[in-house]
Structures are given as structure tokens and as C-alpha cells.
A and B are shown apart, each in its own frame.
Chain A
Amino acid sequence: MKKVNVMIAGVGGQGSITMGMLFKEAVLEKSNIVVAGSETRGASQREGSVDSTIRYAVTEEGEKFDERRSVHSVLIPAGEADVYIALEPVEGMRGLSVVSEKTSIILNSYVIKPMTCVVDGSPYPELQTMIDMLKDTSPDVIVMNANEMAREVFNDFQKMNIILTGAALATGKLPFSYEDMEKTIKNRFKYGLEDNLKALKMGYDAYKKAKEAA
């Protein structure tokens, strides 16, 4: 059995809950995949730190399901994330315990300063320092400003989530296809289908391009 783990770390209100649901719904029709996961709800949804985890247990063909080797915990054990999406740099640093040398990291460089920085003047770390620390845990780090991409093309920050979903697909580590995600998006959103599919493609292409450059 193979476990695939995805974590999305962000700030309440950024859309990590909806994004996490997309990742879970994408495998709903696959009978060989058990999916588990969780989203932070409640107080933290008000601009606090939030995360969304998605865990897949993939049973290969001819293999028997083994309870002792499947996924159970909705949280990801230390270093076990395969894909780690940080919707905000500081939040990317907060969830590092799931990251290790095997993790593909996608960092959205759009900064949302915590109130403590704005009001009390606590320093917000330098972006490059944070990227270096991420690279120290895993060499596979791609940085993009999905909020700016979303603003430029759609004037809608919410598209940031779809752009980064596209980027995550481009890592090639998810147990579902690009088409599966397209279908999931079609099922979930009543409005703006064309824009969402466009955003997905934008993220996918941007990741591929950044990867080539790196």
C-alpha cells in the first residue's frame, strides 16, 4: 500500500477548506483509494493559522487492503508530506514538521502580515530567509505569487487556490489526473467554470515553467 500525503497551510479566509475538499473529491470515484483528511474550522477561520490535510492510501492492483498499513490519522506524521502547499510564507514555516527531503514544496509568496506585525511592529521575516529554510528541509521548492497572478487575470484573489491546485498537479505526485481535477471543479462550482479551468491551467503551466528554470 502506498500513502500519499498533501498539506495546505494558510491563513483563515484564504480558502484552504474549499481547496482541501477539491483534493478529496478528486478521488471519490477511485475504489482503490482511501481518502482521509481534515480542515481547521472554528475560531482560526477568522484570519488565524489554518491548514487542510489530505491523505490517500492507494492499494495497488492485486494487493489486499491492510488496516495496519492504511491511513487513519487526519494529520500527517513528521516528514511524511509528499506535496506541501503554503498559501502564505510565514504559514509555510509553521507547518514544517510534515516536510522532509521527499516533499515537493509550493510556496505562494503573497504576504499576509499577522496582526502582531502590523500593530506591535514584530518583524515579518525576510522572504529569502524563509525560502532558504524551506530549501534546507527539501531541495524541491517552487515559489510563485498566485495572488498576483489571480489579481492580474481575474481581479479575484479566490482564484489563487485553483492556480495552486494546478501547480500541485504539475508535481506529478498526486494519485489523480488533471482531468479528474477538471471534473471535480465542474461538479463543485456553480459559477465561473471557464475562469476556474483557466486558473488551473495557469498554475500547472507556471509550475512546469518554474521547474524548468530551476
Chain B
Amino acid sequence: MEGLKISKELLIDEPGAKILVMGNEAMTRAAIEAGIGYSSTYPGTPASEIGDTLSVLARHIENFYFEYSINEAAAIEGAAGASWIGIRSLCTMKHVGLNVASDALHTIAQSGTSKTGGLVIICASDPGVYSSQSEQDDRWFGYHMMIPILEPSNVQEAYDYLLKAFEISESYDIPVLLYPSSRVCHSVGTIQLGEIRPAKDKGVFKAAISRYVNAQVVSIQNKKNLMKKIKKIKNRMDRLGINRVLEGSSTTGVITSGVSYGYVLEALDLLGIYDIPILKLGIIYPLSPPEISKFVHDHNLEKIIIVEELLGFLENEVKEILFDEGIQAELHGKDTFAAAGDLNVNSVQTGLAQILGIDVGDRFKTIMKKAQKGRSSIPPREATFCPGCPHRATFYAMKKVTDGVGVFGGDIGCNTLGVRSPFALCDWVICMGAGIGIAQGISHKSDQNVFAFIGDGTFFHSGMTGVLNAVYNEAEMILIIMENHWVGMTGHQPTPSTGLSSYREPITPVQIKDVVKAFGAKWVRTVDPYHTIQLMDTIRDGMKHKGFRIIISDQECSVQSDRRWKRLVREKEGKLPRTYYWIDPERCQKCKECLQKLACPAILLKEENGEEIIYIEEPRCTQCGVCYEICPNAGISKTEVNIHLEL
């Protein structure tokens, strides 16, 4: 496992050594150095690799507890518990995960953490929505929950700020949010290692009603305390040594943070401008009024440009401060830089040039024009199911049986790709668990056939509540639980149905069938989608019944089974029996059922002597056998070869 090799490097106890890591690994190393004794996560791109690395390393770190939590609410609650008894705790999630955790975190923030066991939350954002359902701007949670937010701009800062975050958390008895964007999480750079502080073994909970029991008087008092803490941080900002100024003599200044800082530097370099002072914020909530006004006064700024991704959060805060301090200046931000989608050097360069009244030049325009011409001359390439993906078989069966007539609730995860051609069986994507939730609402007030899909990771995360609700309220619909035994899309983390613990040791898997039966579901069928014909029969049977019905489509993720297979082949030096599927050109009727209706990426079309030939690209085939099963003309052959015997 190549990942493991890199992970183990993160445990090296050689202060001063340099290692090449991705942002997520940098934060992981920093957490290990900080001596965390507790870490919890629900995996989600772009934060997944933090938890994954800790999962692999957990057993090698003394006095350390790690868990893949069922969802972010469970994760934050556990981490807060550990923090309360003096254990440094880390809780990681993606931006939308904070919605799930926020209910608990709002009030945890008011109760506080502890002076010896800081609580740091890493919440990774996804500007440009490369791997999420929405481009949520979590910085506003800073205002809403009153917790400090630190935003790193590169790999080194991701590492530095995590250590700082624990210091702040413990100094002010407050949870601290570290907010790296996907560009930081997934970027690669070098870090210099520091000393590893040993983790604390155990703590003792000391009851304090006036602190932990948030009700009535306590709530008001806790809120007041929290407001005081934020005020203190504002006033002591300079002592924290996180924000900094890059000096310059111009009367136009830039205030920025995170990856936008790098975009500004490179854009100015390309424009040949080196005299603009830049206030680079590391703490983006709260902002410090004295610091902002000092930056403006020190540089006699007449023009302030705020460069940030997503909404005008810093702009809002800065405007408020300027107003309060009675400072008048020309201010640019979201009037120039897009509030939707991510920024990059090009867009920042264009924006800065526009504000500064500079022409970006013909070369830049020609490059962009040619790039635009190139992009417009090619077809789009959307993500689709991998070769052998059991989801493809399930959606194929659904499409065959329903012909796309009905209501199809989609959910988060690989199964979202059911929206793609040729299936188009995903009528909405909202959030984890909303596939079934919205579907059952429709089922009560519509005569359409209502279906919903959900993967097993999502089922445990927030689908169980929806299932229980549907059973209890007798929803009239079919739920397809696509049990592929892994949290697939975010990088194959174990889930309770995998049979692996958070430490990746074998355990007894939770049977989804038992769970839904315990909820009281009556009509429950389990089918292997690789037996696609049987799955179609089961769906047809389900549609003849009434009430809330569940079909569990049970087959392991083909990426995982294929990886295991390839590892075995390497270990056995290829001496393993193997099944080959191939399309017999003599028997193939060119109906294109496999090519266009099943749409497996391993099945291709070529032209030979003016004739179309459909064939299986052998190196890409994972031998799932679904094409063999569904071919209407028996045009696909199956050959079992025992190489070992042939030798």
C-alpha cells in the first residue's frame, strides 16, 4: 500500500527533517506533534485524507484514540467530550459536514473546551464545488457560533496553523476552526518537522452544572462568557502573531487570506507590480479593529482591495470596522471578484488590472481566446461509474424495468452519478439522506411510482432516520440501498457494513437488512446486482406490492475488489485462474446494448475496414460479468483460464 509508506513518514521523530506532503497530511502531522489523544471524523472530500492517515497510523501512536464516526454530529460530540476531560482533540470534516455538526457545536462553543485539552475542528471548504453538492461558505459560522477561524494559504501554514489553533483553543477555552480550502488540502509542499508531544492517556470528568448544563440562566451566562472571549482575541490579535503585513509603498492596499493571498502575489508578479502593501490574514474571524485601522493608517491607504473566494465575508467585516473607525476609503471586493466559483491567478490578475486601470495585454487575451476555442471544440467529460461498478448494474436494471418513468430520489455519494446518461435516474441531490426524505414526502401526496437511492455510508450517516420515518409513517415507495461496503466517493473508508474497524481491523459487519427489519420494514429483498436479470425481477416484484419496500443491492465496490485482486496477482506473480469476457464478432448483433445502455467504460467501439466492432478493452475490464449477463444475443463469451495449470 503506497499510502501507508507516506503515512508512516508522518511519525518520524526527527525534528528539523523535511518531508513532502499534501496539505491534509501536513495537518495530520501537526496534530500528531500537538499530542492529540482523540480524533474523530466523517470522511468527505477534500478533508478525507486527514482521517484516513490517522486511521492507518492510529495503532502506532501511543495513547491515541481514533474513530470514523457515523456522522459529523457524533464526531464533534465525541471530540468535545474528550476535550472536556483535558485531552487534546481533533475533529475533521468537509464544509457541509459542519451543518450536521453545527447543532452540537453552537452550544459546545458556549460551554467552552478546556485549558489543557484544546478542541480543533478542521472544516475543509470546496470553492468551485469540485466534490460537493453546494458551495457553502462556512466562515459565516464564525459569526453565528462565535468561534475563531484560521485560514491557511499553503501547506506550511496548514501545518503551522493547526499547532496555533490548539494554543488559541487552550488559551481562550474555546473551540477553534481551521478552514483550509480544497486547494490547500490537495496541494503538495514540504514541511519541516517539529517535536512530537506525547498524547495524554486518560482524563477525569469533573461535573460543573454552571458550565455544561446549558439551560436558562446558564445559557445566558455562557453566551456572555463566549462574547468576552471573542473580544479578548480581537484585542490581543497582534500577540497571536498569525496575521502579517507584506510591506509596500503604494496607497492602494490589499487585504486577503487563504489561497487568494498566493493568487494576489502571482497576479501582481505577472503585472510587474511589487509596491502594493498586503495585509495577509490568517485569523479570518474575528477581525481586529485596531489591526485593520493600523494597516490603513500606516500606509495612508486611499484604495482598499479585498480579495477572497466565495461571499464577501472579509469585505463585510472590514466595512464594519472602517465605518466604526470613521475611515473613508475606496473599497473593492465582490464588485470585481466573483462570489460564486473559485478564483485563480488569471481571474485575480484580470480583477486587479481592472481596479488599477492596467491593460492585461494582448498575449493574455490571445491565450485565453485559443483556450476558449479549444474547449468549445470538444465534448464534455463527466464523471461516470467505474468499470465493474455495481451501481451501474443497479441503475441499468432500474432503467430497464421503469423506462425512467417515476420519481427517483438521488443522494450523496457515487450513486449521484446515476444522473448521468444513459440512466438519468436521479431527480434531485440535496444533502446526505435527503433522497429518501424528500421521496417519502412526495409518496404521501402523489400517485407516481416513487423510488429513492442511497449508499450504505449515507444510510448509516443520516439515512436511517429517514427509513424509520418512512416505515413509521407508511410511505408508499421503494428504497434501493446500494450496499457496496465502502464509503466510495471520498476514498474508500470503512463503514459499519465493511467489516473493518476504524483501525482497519476485522470486526463483525452490521447487516443493513437486520437494521431495517428492526425498524419494522416488512418487504425487504437482497440481490446481487451482478445478477442483473434477477435484480430486474425483484424490482418488478416490488412494484406489484404496496407500502414501504426496500431492495438491498449488495455487491462490493469494484475498485476495492479489483485492487485486492491485482495485489494478489502481483504477490502470486500472475499465477492465478482468471475469467475473461470478450465480445465474439461473429455473434455480436451490434445492438449496442452493452455499449450504450449499460455504458461500461471498458466496452469500446472501433472501426475496422469500414465496419463497426464493439469490443472489451481487456486491461480496463474488472470481470464483473454484467455485460455477459445482459447481452440479448449471447454475443459475449466467457473464458476461464488457469494460467497456473498452463504453466
Q: Do A and B come from one complex?
A: yes
| Chain A residues packing against B (C-beta within 8 Å) | 11-13, 18, 20-21, 24-25, 28, 34-49, 67-75, 77-79, 90-91, 93-94, 96-97, 99-100, 112-120, 122-125, 129-130, 133, 136-137, 151, 155-157, 188-192
Q: How far is the CB of B98 from chain A (nearest CB, A)?
A: 18
Apart from A99-B367, A123-B379: 5 A-B pairs, beta carbons within 8 A: A44-B131, A77-B270, A93-B374, A100-B367, A122-B379
CB nearest to A26 among chain B residues: B20
Q: Which residue from chain B places its CB closest to the CB of A76 in the assembled complex? A: B345
Contact (Cβ within 8 A) A38 B186: yes
B246 touches A94 (CB 8 A): no
* A189 to B349 Cα, complex, angstroms: 40
List the 10 closest A-B pairs by CB distance, nearest first. A72-B262, A42-B131, A48-B383, A97-B371, A42-B45, A96-B374, A114-B381, A77-B345, A79-B367, A96-B371
Whether the pair B368, A97 counts as a contact (CB closer than 8 A) is yes
Cross-chain pairs A/B with CB under 8 angstroms, 17 sampled: A18-B2, A34-B190, A38-B186, A43-B416, A46-B383, A46-B489, A47-B385, A69-B269, A75-B344, A78-B367, A78-B368, A94-B374, A94-B381, A97-B346, A115-B420, A119-B421, A122-B379
Q: A38 near B246 (CB under 8 angstroms)?
A: no
Contact partners of A99 in chain B: CB under 8 A = 367, 370-371
Q: Are B190 and A155 in contact (CB under 8 A)?
A: no
The answer to whether B188 touches A37 (Cβ under 8 A) is: yes
B330 at the interface (CB under 8 A from A): no
**Interface segment, B104-112, B533-541, B596-604?**
B596-604
Q: How far is the CB of B95 from chain A (nearest CB, A)?
A: 13
A48 with B382: CB separation less than 8 A: yes
Q: From the candidates B20, B367, B380, name the one contacting A28 in the complex (CB within 8 A).
A: B20
User: Is B268 on the interface with A (CB-CB < 8 A)?
Assistant: yes
B570 touches A191 (CB 8 A): yes
Residues of B within 8 A of A136 (CB): 370
Write out the residue numbers on chain A whose beta carbons fall within 8 Å of the beta carbon of B544: none
Residue of A nearest to B262 (CB): A72
Interface set, chain B 185-230, CB cutoff 8 A to A: 186-190
Closest to A12 in B: B383
Residues on the A chain within 8 Å of B373, using CB = 133
Q: How many positions in chain B have a CB within 8 Å of any CB in the partner chain?
A: 71
Q: Nearest chain A CB to B483's CB is how many angstroms away?
A: 18
Q: Is B383 touching A47 in the complex (CB atoms < 8 A)?
A: yes
Q: Contact: A41 with B45, CB < 8 Å? A: yes
A40's nearest neighbour on chain B, judged by CB, is B130
CB distance from A25 to the nearest CB of B (A): 6
**Hey, which bits of chain B sit against chain A, CB under 8 A?**
2, 5, 18-20, 45-46, 130-131, 153-155, 183, 186-190, 246, 259, 261-263, 265-270, 274, 344-346, 349, 363-364, 367-368, 370-371, 373-375, 377-386, 414, 416-417, 420-422, 489-491, 570, 595-596, 599, 601, 604-605, 619-620
CB distance from A203 to the nearest CB of B (A): 18
CB <8 Å contact, B131 and A41: yes
Cβ contact within 8 Å between B268 and A68: yes
CA distance A117 to B601 in the complex (A): 11
A73 engages B266 (CB within 8 Å): yes
Alpha-carbon gap, A155 to B417, bound state (A): 30
B349 close to A77 (CB less than 8 A): yes
Known contacts: A42-B46, A188-B2. The answer to whether A78 contacts B364 by CB under 8 A is yes
Q: Which residues of chain A come closer than 8 Å to B261, judged between CB atoms?
A: 72
Question: Which residues of the other chain, A, contact B491 by a CB distance below 8 angstroms?
Answer: 41
Pairwise interchain contact B414-A46, C-beta atoms closer than 8 A: yes
Considering the complex, give the chain A residue whose CB is closest to the CB of B273: A68
Q: Could you say which of B189, B259, B274, B368 contacts A35, with CB atoms under 8 Å apart?
A: B189
**A100 touching B363 by the CB < 8 A rule?**
yes
Contact of B381 among A39, A45, A48 (CB under 8 A): A48
Known: A79-B363, A137-B370. A73 touches B259 (CB 8 A): yes
Q: Is the CB of A120 within 8 A of B381?
A: no
CA distance A149 to B370 in the complex (A): 31
Q: Which residue of B lies closest to A156 (CB)?
A: B619
A156 to B416, CA, bound (A): 31
Closest to A124 in B: B379
Partner of B262, one of A37, A73, A120: A73
Contact B188 A21 (CB under 8 A): yes
A112 and B259 alpha carbons, distance in the complex (Å): 33
- Contacting residues, chain A, for B344 (C-beta < 8 A): 73, 75, 77
Q: What are the residues of chain B within 8 A of A100 when measuring CB–CB?
A: 363, 367
B contact residues around A48 at 8 Å (CB): 381-384
Measured CB to CB, the closest approach of chain A to B583, in angstroms, equals: 15
The answer to whether B187 touches A74, judged by C-beta atoms less than 8 angstroms apart, is yes
CB neighbours (8 Å) of B189 from chain A are 34-36
Least CB distance from B619 to A in Å reads 5
Q: Which residue on chain B has the smallest CB distance to residue A69?
A: B269
Question: Given the complex, which residues of A lie within 8 Å of B605, measured CB to CB?
Answer: 113, 118
**A36 contacts which of B18, B154, B377, B601 (Cβ < 8 Å)?**
B154
Please measure, in the bound complex, the distance between the C-alpha atom of A20 and the C-alpha atom of B186, giving whole angstroms: 12
User: Is B384 within 8 A of A46, CB to CB?
Assistant: yes
Chain B residues contacting A79 (CB-CB under 8 Å) are 363-364, 367
Measured between alpha carbons, how far is A47 from B269 in the docked complex, in Å? Answer: 36
Task: Say whether A42 contacts B346, CB under 8 Å.
Answer: no
